[in-house]
Amino acid sequence: MLSTNPELAAAVRARLIDALGIHSPADEARLAVTINGGCAVLRGCVHSWAQHEALERAALATPGVAHVDNQLALLIKAHPSDRRCEAHPVAAAEGA
């Protein structure tokens, strides 16, 4: 899906990166934002439920965003060097 507002998508993504304190291009690459009307769609991986919630709040705090479709998944590592994001949506992990 392409963003209907690439400038807003970039603003939301910048807020997410700031909220996580990300300084690594590899970590930045694990987050994606698209905009559909006033809805920010968040995709990628997070390390915890707290990050999942913090990123949703950061996206909602961006001027121009009325709703958030939070599709972020939990990063589950089999080994400390494993950087894959397994497809474990947070809602499924929480039993929702």
pLDDT tens figures, 21-45: 877 787 788 889 999 989 999 999 8
Q: What's the token pair of residue 46?
A: 């997070």
| 40-95 residue pLDDT tens | 999 998 888 899 999 999 999 999 999 999 999 988 766 666 666 655 444 434 44
- Alpha carbons 81 and 25: distance in angstroms, whole number: 17
Q: What is the pLDDT of residue 35?
A: 93
Q: Can you point out the beta strands (E) in the chain?
A: 31-36, 39-46, 67-70, 73-74
Q: What is the pLDDT of residue 80?
A: 64
Domains of the chain: 6-93 (3.30.1340.30)
